[in-house]
Chains A and B, each alone.
Chain A
Amino acid sequence: MVLIGYQDQGNLGMGYLGSMLRQHGRTVEMTEVREGPQRIAARLAGAQPLVVGFSLIFQFFLPQFRRVARELRRVGVTSHFTIGGHDPSLCHDEVLAQFPELDSVALFEGEFTLVDLVDRLAAGEDWQQVPGLAYMRDGKVMVSDARALAHDLDSLPFPYRPYEPEKIVGFPYVPLLASRGCARRCSFCSIHTFYRTAPGKVVRVRRPGKVVEEMLYLHRDHGARLFLFQDDDFPLWGRAGRKWVDELADRLHETGLAERTIWKISCRAEYVEPDLFAKLRDAGLFLVYMGIESGVESGLRVLHKQMTVEQNLAAVRTLKAIGIWFSYGFMLFDPSSTFASVRANIGFLRQIVGDGSNAALFCRMLPYGGTPIRDQLQIEGRLRGNVRHPDYSFRTAELDRYYRLLKPVVGQWVNDEGISQEINWAWDEFEIVNRLVPGLNGATEYRAALAALTAASNEEVFQLIEESSFAFEQGDYYALDVASVRDSCERIRARLLCLRNSFFLDNVPALTEAINRDVIRGPVMAPQVH
């Protein structure tokens, strides 16, 4: 059995599929799709695995996966091809139509479906009776009986991770899950559609003891020092959530992980309470990601965040006060945007990161497949682009024009290689080493200098947006060009590199010692079946 997909930050979906198959006696190979069609095909040509499974989250990369499948067929691989993930589950008819090399789509959570499929294929039985599949028969899309979501996450083996963990400044980090599902219904997100379309309980939480058992295993056998919880919404909600995280924190202290490792979660801002988060900080929580998304009430309403601006501000204040690093998602532009809301959003960003606590990051909301907002935009006649490059119009042509001109300019800050991304990398590194190796030389001075540089960089992009938006609104087509900001970004980049490298140069011995300390070395491919 071969699983093909993106392996960034570890691919937990593939990891769970792999471990389930291994538990059922199957051999599993994980392949990175970016290896390319020819290389993958060359390796698999003679192997003829029983099943080749493609793991796809975003529809935009479907052609890339199809090229691999086409090449595999061209070199004579006759295996059963199946695909799973968010987009194939929600849009299986489109996927089957656009990807004729596929034999089936494994709908929603695929662990049990894939095991069943492989067993039936191995036995030469009718695979079309396997629950949880979609496939084409005589030119028609057929869907087998629905398969419920995995009810008991603790019954699943730990994800198969046959690779060295990625590292940040020498410290290995791994992703994991404490829960699956999301009870919310944000209009721009397809995750809740994914979980609500399949039968079964939407939100499922593992027992804290099992989560800590996996963390301990990852620390001992993979050398993990950072854990990235990939839960859509970390289980903090209500009294039950409080009890759950209390137990998690206690177990982390009991096992010594709280002192040796740190972890990140994603959660809603409304759950950030001082006492609770101070306790979690002491148990190793170092980074909280929040999908803030908008700094204006109208934007929060359109995005159906069921949050207020004040709740988001309060969460940021609390995290700063108790010393937990935060990151956030923010959509400067959404379908309800106006020039005034863009400036109000900048005002909000100034409140949360104007002090240089974080580099300003933002984007424009995109209407992904399977989301309520995409349907709404379609009803309003504002949906544009195509399936793989979704787009929409704002309410005024002026704002459309402004966005088109602004995007490449602010991209110098916020695109993948932008200066804000680089600054936040420096912050990530600093917050990690500062937590794992307290007392580093010059840490206080470096933090202050980095904050000053971050604040200056943020203010420059804030002013650019404020001034240009005013000008455009008044019909004055303010000169927006990439060249005018490139030099400034390069100066910030050079200063960042200088500050950052000086700090690390001053601390090489202490960091090297810390990286090698307390790590119990073990085989990377330890037994994964429990």
Chain B
Amino acid sequence: MAPSPQQESRILPEAFIFRPHGPGPGPDPIYMEYVLDKVEPEQRGPLLANALTTMAEVYQALAKGAAEAARIVAGEGG
């Protein structure tokens, strides 16, 4: 019976065992979408990046949110 892929891995010398994880030559580490999912939740600070620094911005955001909510409620897809 032919060996399974796992058995073949054990037969291969150490240098040639398939280890597809970790940095390789191909990817560029700038893409963090999935990497960030591994950042521990307690490390994710409460600092909001979307800081509303003036009251005008607060009112604008509230008005925009309300309009968006109205569209969604009206079945217009938001």
Contact = CB atoms under 8 A, between A and B. Distances in A.
Interface in A494-515: 494, 497-498, 500-502, 504-505, 508, 511-512, 515
Interface string A177-201: 0000000000001000000000000
Contacts of A390: 49
Interface stretch (A75-83, A145-153, A424-432, A453-461): A424-432
A327 B48 contact: no
B17 to A, nearest CB: 9
Contacts of A397: 68, 72, 77-78
Contacts of A417: 21
A417 B35 CA distance: 10
Nearest to B18: A500
B1 interface: no
A8 interface: yes
Contacts of B72: 397
A61 B24 CA distance: 21
Contact of A422 (B5, B9, B15, B20): B20
Contacts of B57: 381
Interface string A349-382: 0000000000001011011100000100010010
Given A381-B61, A386-B46, A501-B5, A228 B25 contact: yes
Interface size class of B (residues with CB under 8 A): 35 or more
B43 interface: yes
Given A424-B26, A497-B18, A501-B12, A398 B5 contact: no
25 contacts: A8-B29, A58-B32, A169-B15, A226-B25, A327-B26, A366-B33, A383-B50, A384-B49, A385-B48, A385-B50, A386-B47, A387-B47, A397-B68, A397-B77, A407-B33, A415-B34, A421-B27, A422-B20, A425-B24, A426-B18, A497-B5, A501-B9, A505-B11, A508-B13, A512-B15
Interface of A: 8-9, 58, 60-61, 63-64, 98, 166-170, 173, 189, 226, 228, 264, 266, 287, 289, 291, 327, 329, 361, 363-364, 366-368, 374, 378, 381, 383-390, 396-398, 407, 411, 414-417, 421-422, 424-429, 432, 494, 497-498, 500-502, 504-505, 508, 511-512, 515
Given A63-B45, A381-B64, A501-B12, 17 more contacts: A9-B29, A98-B45, A167-B15, A289-B26, A329-B30, A361-B27, A364-B33, A381-B50, A381-B61, A386-B49, A388-B47, A414-B34, A416-B35, A494-B5, A497-B6, A498-B8, A505-B11
Interface of B: 5-6, 8-9, 11-13, 15-16, 18, 20-39, 43-50, 57, 60-61, 64, 68, 72, 77-78
